[in-house]
Structures are given as C-alpha cells and as structure tokens.
C-alpha cells in the first residue's frame, strides 16, 4: 500500500504508487500520463517539485482506505491514526481523536441552540402578543443562546452545558 503524506497528514492512500500520486494531484488518468511525461528525463521521473511524500507501507489497503477521512486521518476501531515521519509508520493520534470528539459535542450543542432559537423566533416579531417586558426577557434569553459558544467554550461535553431558562 502507498500513502501520500504532507507533514503528519495523510492525503491519499492507494495500492498503486502512481494512482496515489494521481489522487493527490486530483487529475484524470490521461492528464496524469501527460504530467508524468513532462517531469521525466531519460526515463526517470523527477518528483522533487512535489510538496508531499509517497511512502510504501505494509498494511491492508482496503481496511485502511475504508476508514480514511478527508481531513487526513484514518479512523479505525474508535481511534485516529496519522503518519509519524520519525518512525516511518502509521501511529495513533490521541490529540486528533480528542479534537474530533470535542467538535462532535459542539455540533450537537449548536444544533440544540439553533432549535431553541427557532422555537423562540415568534417572540420577537412585530405582531407578537407579548408585552414589552416579556419581549425584552425573551430577547435576553435569545442573546444568551447566541453567546453560548463563547460563554461556555471551556465545556467539553453536551451534558456540561448550562442552558438558559426560557422566560415564562
């Protein structure tokens, strides 16, 4: 199996080296052969202009490729993998896993926040039956929902969020 690596990010995986390179370049097969011809002198291609590296590794390409994500990580059995250039191997990346888990939690938090904002839209319309004071209370509630990501940025779980109380 061949992987294309840029820094610690895996950018392509394929069982054939040339197809791995073609995927990185995001070109069609006919364009690839034209490009290869343009960098070849006396039958030897010069890949020195590339800002990534193609590395041959011993792994099952189908298993790894199935779990490869476009952000450059491989998710496999609930852990993330990345390329370790010093070891010349694919290794676990707990930092990426933690970042992904946090991002997933915040996706859910934002979904709930959006739902609560949509449910309270009616309170701010011109024909709302609410008094001026009630409209103001609802406006403060909605502001607290909008600022929730900044106000509670240290929270790492949906269950840790302190949701504002809806006005009565």
The pLDDT score that the predictor gives to residue 77 is: 46
- pLDDT (0 to 100) of residue 9: 79
- pLDDT value of position 132: 94
- What does each of the 168 residues of the chain score in pLDDT, given as a tens digit? 888 888 877 888 888 899 989 989 999 999 999 999 999 999 999 999 899 989 887 765 455 555 555 555 555 445 577 777 787 777 777 887 788 888 889 999 999 999 999 999 999 998 999 999 999 999 999 999 999 999 999 999 999 999 999 998
Residue with tokens 């707990």: 94
- The pLDDT value recorded for residue 162 is 95
Q: What is the C-alpha separation between 94 and 146, in angstroms, rounded?
A: 31
Q: State phi, psi for 2 to the nearest 5 degrees.
A: -120, 140
Cα 112–115–119 angle (5° rounding)?
140
Spatial CB neighbours of 97, under 8 Å, sequence gap ≥ 6: 79, 80
Domain-by-domain residue ranges, the chain? 2-92, 96-160
Pull the structure tokens for residue 79. 């852990």
Residue with tokens 């690596």: 5
CA 83 to the chain's CA centroid: 17
């Amino acid at each position: 199996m061949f992987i294309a690596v840029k820094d610690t990010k895996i950018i392509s995986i394929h069982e054939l080296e040339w197809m791995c390179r073609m995927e990185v370049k995001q070109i069609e097969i006919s364009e690839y052969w034209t490009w290869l011809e343009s960098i070849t002198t006396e039958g030897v291609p010069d890949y020195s202009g590339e800002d990534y590296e193609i590395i041959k590794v011993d792994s099952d390409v189908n298993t790894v490729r199935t779990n490869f994500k476009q952000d450059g990580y491989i998710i496999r059995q609930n852990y993330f993998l990345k390329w370790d250039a010093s070891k010349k191997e694919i290794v676990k990346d707990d930092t990426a896993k933690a970042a992904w888990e946090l991002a997933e939690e915040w996706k859910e938090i934002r979904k709930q926040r959006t739902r609560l904002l949509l449910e309270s839209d009616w309170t701010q319309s011109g024909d709302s039956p609410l008094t001026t004071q009630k409209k103001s209370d609802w406006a403060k509630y909605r502001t607290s929902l909008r600022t929730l990501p900044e106000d509670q940025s240290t929270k790492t779980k949906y269950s840790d969020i302190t949701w504002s109380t809806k006005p009565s």
